[in-house]
């Protein structure tokens, strides 16, 4: 096993996953979780959000206070000068503005493609099975160590209870 310092890429994956692995439905999130959106805002503020073209279109605009990089192999044009488009993960680091960390924020295709590039996962477990058409890719959790976990009962504006976990990579496969 490698020591953790040699595993650091500086990329962090941020995701909310239902108990049955679902992360999306009809191009949107399958839940209303105000507390989680607040935490997402706090965690990502000032950083660089890396997202797939479909997730960007679902959000519909760059989120304030953060850089947005969209991954697309097509001729996608957001119409916003501040939104950068990359056609491959290898182009991303060169586009990140100084002082910002890369936070991979979905969706499923981008999580799958970038998993090996990430050394931290900020994971909201949504404590319910939900219907949906998009799932989080398979993860070998033996490559990851749970650093912390916090259970959060549903607040007034949350549909479900959640548990927030921080995972750090302990092994990167060749």
Q: Which of 11, 13, 15, 62 binds ligand NAP (CB under 6 A)?
A: 15
Q: Which is nearer to ligand NAP, 124 or 169 (CB)?
A: 124
- What residue number has its CB nearest to ligand NAP? 107
Residue 76 near ligand NAP by CB under 6 A: yes
Q: Alpha-carbon distance 99 to 127, whole Å?
A: 35
Using CB under 6 A, which residues numbered 104 to 123 contact ligand NAP?
Answer: 105-110, 113
Q: Which of residues 36-75 bind ligand NAP (CB under 6 A)?
A: 51-55, 58, 71-74
Q: Could you say which of 2, 87, 91, 101 contacts ligand NAP (CB under 6 A)?
A: 87
Distances (CA, A) of 46 to 42, 100, 170: 9, 7, 27
Sign of CA dihedral 125, 133, 121, 171: positive
CB of 24 to ligand NAP, least distance (A): 2
Segment lying near ligand NAP (by CB under 6 A), choices 23-31, 42-50, 90-98, 163-171: 23-31
Task: Yes or no: say if 80 and 62 are a contact pair by the CB < 8 Å rule.
Answer: yes
d(CA 50, CA 53): 10
Q: Using the rule CB under 6 A, give the single segment among 21-29, 92-100, 145-153, 160-168 that binds ligand NAP.
A: 21-29
User: Which residues within the stretch 127-166 sit at the binding site for ligand NAP (CB under 6 A)?
Assistant: 134
Count residues contacting ligand NAP (CB under 6 A)? 28
Q: Is the peptide bond before 107 cis (omega within 30 degrees of 0)?
A: yes
Contact 85, 131 (CB under 8 A): no
Quick check: 102 and 92 in contact, CB under 8 A?
yes
Residue 117 zone, left/alpha/beta (φ > 0; ψ -120 to 50; rest): alpha
Query: Which residues of the chain form contacts with ligand NAP (CB under 6 A)?
Result: 15-16, 23-24, 27-29, 51-55, 58, 71-74, 76, 87-88, 105-110, 113, 134
């Amino acid at each position: 096993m490698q020591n953790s310092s040699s595993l650091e890429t500086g990329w962090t994956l941020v995701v909310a996953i239902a108990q049955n692995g679902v992360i999306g439905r009809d191009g949107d999130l399958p839940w209303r979780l105000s507390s989680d959106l607040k935490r997402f805002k706090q965690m990502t503020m000032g950083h660089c959000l890396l997202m797939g073209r479909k997730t960007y279109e679902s959000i519909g605009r760059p989120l304030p206070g953060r850089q947005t990089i969209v991954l697309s192999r097509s001729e996608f044009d957001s119409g916003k000068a501040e939104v950068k488009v990359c056609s491959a993960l290898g182009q991303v680091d060169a586009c990140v503005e100084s002082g910002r960390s890369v936070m991979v924020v979905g969706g499923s295709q981008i999580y799958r493609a970038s998993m090996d590039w990430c050394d931290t996962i900020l994971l909201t477990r949504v404590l319910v099975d939900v219907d949906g058409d998009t799932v989080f890719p398979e993860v070998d959790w033996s490559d990851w160590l749970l650093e912390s976990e916090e259970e959060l009962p549903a607040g007034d504006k949350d549909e479900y209870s959640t548990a927030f976990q921080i995972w750090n990579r302990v092994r990167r496969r060749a």
